[in-house]
Each structure stands twice: as C-alpha cells, then as structure tokens.
A = this chain, B = another copy of it.
C-alpha cells in the first residue's frame, strides 16, 4: 500500500473544486489519465472512495467532503511554509543570539539594538554577556550564533571579521589633570586598577605596561569598567578604558581622561562565528550594522 503524497492532495483538491476530470487535469497542467490514475491511487491508499463518478457529474462522497476540508487546510499550511521560506530567504530570520564581552556590551548594545530593530524589525535578538572563553564555548555548541569580542581569538573553526580598532585611554583622578601623561613604563609603577582575571581587556592592559601576567597582584580587581572608574574617582588609583567607554564613564565620576602619546595601546573589536554556519553571508551584513553602531 503506497503512501499519500502532496501531489495527490493537490490533484484531489482540483478535482473536488472542478468536479470534472478534464478541467481539473488542465488546472494541474497534466493529462486527464494522469489525474485519473492519481485519484484512483489516492482512493486505494485511503481504502475508501472520495468521489462518486457518473457520466454527468463527478461528486464528492460524504467522506470526500470531510477529507477535502482537511486537505485544503494542509495544502494551505504547506503553501505558507513556502511563503515563510521565501520571506526568510537570504536574510536574518527569527532568533539571532549575539554574545558580547562585558567591556563592549554596555557601550555598544544600546545603539546596536536600535539599529538592528530598524533594519530587521521582525528579528528576535538575544544577548549573552560574558567573557571571551565562555562565549567561544557557547558558540561551539550552538548556544549563540555570533559573538563580538576582541580579536584575535584564533580558533580554526571560526570565522573572525575585524570591525574597528579602538584605543585604550588613561583614566586618572581629576586632580591629576594637569600632570603629564605617563609612559607605559611609568604606569607600571603607579597603582593600576584592572578588571578581574578572565577579561581580555585586563590582559591587554597588562601587556601594554609590560607586566608579567603570572605575577600576582594586590587584591584590587574590579568586576566592571564602571567599578574601576568609580574607584579612580575615589582617588584609589588609575585605570585604562577603551575609547568607546569614554562618553559613559568619563562623566560618571570626578576623573579626567587622556590619550597616550606616541604608540597608543589599542584593541581590535571583531565578530566571530562558526565557519559552518550557513548564515555567514548574512553575518557580513550584520558586521556593517555593528560597525555603524561602534562609531562614536
């Protein structure tokens, strides 16, 4: 006993509508015998007749009528499926899960989300904020689609696309505004407040100052840039923040912000995703949106 096919349902629907094999076959762009055979096979596979044939009319049986109702619903759902696919074709669709590291998230997301909302109003954006290694794990097992981090991450199974470079700037207590900007080496001698272990921004700051990361440091690590800046405002030390954070953090405490002279320290912000993700092309478009959001 063979199986029901969508084709048969389509043919059936046409015949139910036209009540005439020839015209229904025309409507389906097939020959009349082809339709006859398919209807016959449909009836056989159901084990019960759908039509009453007489030389004059072709009429649905009572069962045929119930069948027609449901068949139409099904065909419609299938067509909607096609519609849905057409709508989704080649664009971001449905749920998009973005991971962002904490030294970027608060400064980038407000703009990014409003831009995304504008470009893809139907998109369901989820945000995950955590440190790079964890983002990479979650990327790896499919919990998120893309991540915005500091490059490089150098995972061979990932695509990484640079978005923009960004300087790191010095934050001192406002009382020190007149003092000259210290060199990296001078900085090493100062009380430099850093994010806790795990944040890549901490490592970048340390490497700028040529400090061995292995050496244990005094217990003054903050859990967010915001915390660090507040501590600087309280006169406890100095810290580094990315340019992006200036508009927010530079006003939030009695501090002054200065660029370094000479070779400025910087980080590259970029987006990463699984190479195997078939939405790669759409992600390129996403990069453009993120870039726009990252501009001050």
Contacts and interface: CB of A to CB of B under 8 A. Distances in A.
Interface of A: 3-7, 46-49, 51-54, 57, 59, 61-63, 65-67, 70-71, 73-74, 77-78, 80-82, 84-86, 88-90, 93-96, 141-142, 145, 157, 274, 276-279
A52 B94 contact: no
Given A5-B5, A93-B62, A276-B52, A77 B80 contact: no
B81 A71 contact: yes
B77 A47 contact: no
A150 to B, nearest CB: 25
A161 to B, nearest CB: 18
A77 B54 CA distance: 31
B62 A96 contact: yes
B142 A59 contact: yes
Given A48-B90, A67-B81, A67-B85, 5 more contacts: A46-B89, A48-B85, A54-B157, A66-B93, A74-B81
Nearest to A141: B57
Q: How many monomers of this protein are in the complex?
A: 2
Given A46-B82, A84-B67, A62 B274 contact: no
Given A65-B94, A93-B63, A142-B57, A81 B276 contact: no
A93 B66 CA distance: 10
27 contacts: A3-B7, A4-B81, A4-B82, A5-B6, A5-B7, A46-B85, A46-B89, A47-B89, A48-B89, A48-B93, A49-B278, A49-B279, A52-B142, A52-B277, A54-B274, A57-B141, A59-B142, A62-B95, A62-B279, A63-B88, A63-B93, A66-B88, A71-B81, A73-B77, A74-B74, A74-B77, A74-B81
Nearest to A92: B62
Contacts of A141: 57
Contacts of A66: 84, 88, 93-94
A73 B70 CA distance: 13
A278 B4 contact: no
A203 B240 CA distance: 112
Pairs of residues from A and B, 8 with the lowest C-beta to C-beta distance, nearest first: A46-B85, A49-B278, A54-B276, A62-B94, A47-B89, A63-B88, A63-B93, A48-B89
Nearest to A277: B52
Contacts of A49: 278-279
A85 B70 CA distance: 12
Contacts of A67: 81, 84-85
Contacts of A52: 142, 274, 276-278
A13 B6 CA distance: 16
